[in-house]
Amino acid sequence: MIPLFETMEGMATSEPTMQELFEIPEYRSHVTQRNEKQTIMLGFSDGTKDGGYLKANWSIFKTKEKLSAVCEENGIKAIFFDGRGGPPARGGGKSHRFYAAQSSLIANHEIQLTIQGQTITSTYGTQEQFIHNFEQLLTAGLSRDLFGKENVISADFRELLDELSTISYQKYKELKDHQLFIPYLENKSALRYYDKANIGSRPGKRGDAKKLELTDLRAISFVGSWSQLKQNVPGYFGIGTAIEVLISNGKVEELKRMFREVPFFKALVLNSMMSLSKCYFELTAYLREDEEYKDFWNILYDEYELSKKMLLLVSGFTMLMEEEPITMESIKIREKIVLPLLVIQQYALQKIGQNTSHKELYEKLVTRSLYGNINASRNSV
């Protein structure tokens, strides 16, 4: 039996939940039959959808620490099965960077993780790719023992991360609660066409309610729709505002030091830079003139610009992904394929919105461009 904690509420109550479970004699006997090991799954994709990029990742990190402790107190080894997507917006990004950044309080007995479909080929598709990426993953998992690297996050830095997380979540929550949040995705993105593209293992949304709610959306279609818009909101939204607030409170030097000294925070920043690097707001700049959506579009654009500025300030970089020139070049190559497809897609979506007599043909264009972009993008944010 593998418990799953994926929402902010679920992670917040995960510790007493597991303790109560371990106190059930029949369940404790079950764990004993499993060699005193308990596998626990954390939902990175739905966590990010629920709490936003920074809040979700910090909550997952702290939840792992708490669950490691409660398992150890009960004489049980905690094994984490990480439901990571391919892109940072779904809890993904560079896997070796993620595991190397785990703190000394997180159980390190095994590595279990999911890998997004189209990422498997690019990461493990050839013998050379497999060896390179698997060696990086193994080294990250063993780094604590091999190099004596005990990632300890001080109380001061934890307080700083808590502040960033709270402010970032509030900014993201305001966006989620905006009356145009769901209509924008439904009418200006390819959200409604994910099911037609036949690229997911599950439906694009849960249930069959007529009015779409955020909780109904699956992470793949949610994150993917922002990717198709080249806005990648789940990969950074709120982090710029959070850093700006702390800097206005005189904490710029602490943030810079945390970037240098805390691998977890640096991994967060670098992954967010990857999401920002794949944004291209020029694709939807015509919405600046749209009477219904212009203000909402500007909210997204302003946070994008602010996030870039704040991350460059904290990192000391002169450009996004400054330490990863090869990855940046790889993104540039793929963008040459992706952007023409998305121009076609946006044109088709506009025509559909104008009640064209050729709606079926334009919908086919949206679906085919959606499918092609997902394959070309590698990890879709």
In angstroms, the CA 374 to CA 160 distance is 36
Which tokens sit at 296?
A: 């909402």
pLDDT at 12 over 80: yes
Q: Residue 98 in contact with residue 267, Cβ under 8 Å?
A: yes
In angstroms, the CA 132 to CA 135 distance is 5
Residue 211 in any domain: the answer is no
What pLDDT does residue 146 have?
66
Q: What is the tens place of the pLDDT at every residue in 213-227? A: 777 777 778 888 999
pLDDT at 207 over 50: yes
In angstroms, the CA 308 to CA 76 distance is 43
Residue 160 in any domain: the answer is no
Q: Residue 220 in contact with residue 87, Cβ under 8 Å?
A: no
Between the CA of residue 112 and those of 115, 137, 146, 285, 287, what are the distances in Å? 10, 11, 20, 41, 43
Range of the domain at 16: 4-153
Choose between 136 and 365: higher pLDDT: 365
Between the CA of residue 199 and those of 64, 72, 123, 293, 346, what are the distances in Å? 31, 40, 19, 29, 20
Question: pLDDT band for position 241 (50/70/90)?
Answer: very high
Please report how the helices 252-261 and 155-176 are oriented relative to each other, as an axis angle in degrees rounded to 10.
110
Residue 358 in any domain: the answer is no
Q: What is the tens place of the pLDDT at every residue in 52-83? A: 889 988 999 999 999 999 999 999 999 999 87
Which tokens sit at 156?
A: 């001061």
Please report how the helices 117-124 and 359-377 are oriented relative to each other, as an axis angle in degrees rounded to 10.
40
Question: CA triplet 331, 205, 221: central angle to 5 degrees?
Answer: 5
What pLDDT does residue 381 have?
47
Between the CA of residue 332 and those of 231, 252, 376, what are the distances in Å? 16, 31, 12
Instruction: Tell me how many domains the chain contains.
Output: 1
Based on C-alpha coordinates, what's the Rg of the chain?
21
Which tokens sit at 38?
A: 């308990």
Q: Residue 196 in contact with residue 249, Cβ under 8 Å?
A: no
Q: Which of 315, 299, 174 is nearest to 243 (CA)?
A: 315
In angstroms, the CA 361 to CA 278 distance is 28
Q: What is the tens place of the pLDDT at every residue in 87-112? A: 665 656 677 788 888 888 999 888 78
What pLDDT does residue 217 have?
79
What's the chain's average pLDDT? 88
Q: What is the tens place of the pLDDT at every residue in 299-355? A: 999 999 999 999 999 999 999 999 999 989 988 888 888 999 999 999 999 999 888
Residues 6+ positions from 204 with CB-CB distance below 8 Å: 191, 194, 195, 217, 218, 220, 221
Residue 126 in any domain: the answer is yes
What pLDDT does residue 361 have?
94
DSSP letters of 34-53?
TTTEEEEEEEHHHHHHHH-H
Mean pLDDT is lowest, of 110-119, 208-217, 283-292, for 208-217
What pLDDT does residue 240 have?
97
Residue 91 in any domain: the answer is yes
The mean pLDDT of 226-230, rounded to a whole number, is 92
pLDDT at 28 over 90: yes
In angstroms, the CA 20 to CA 13 distance is 11
What pLDDT does residue 88 have?
62
Q: Which of 238, 239, 191 is nearest to 217 (CA)?
A: 191
Residue 95 in any domain: the answer is yes
pLDDT at 6 over 80: yes
**Can you count the helices (H) and strands (E) in the chain?**
18, 4
pTM, entire model: 0.89
Q: What is the tens place of the pLDDT at every residue in 156-186? A: 999 999 999 999 999 999 999 999 999 999 9
Q: What is the tens place of the pLDDT at every residue in 13-24? A: 999 999 999 999
Residue 57 in any domain: the answer is yes
Residue 32 in any domain: the answer is yes
Choose between 50 and 90: higher pLDDT: 50
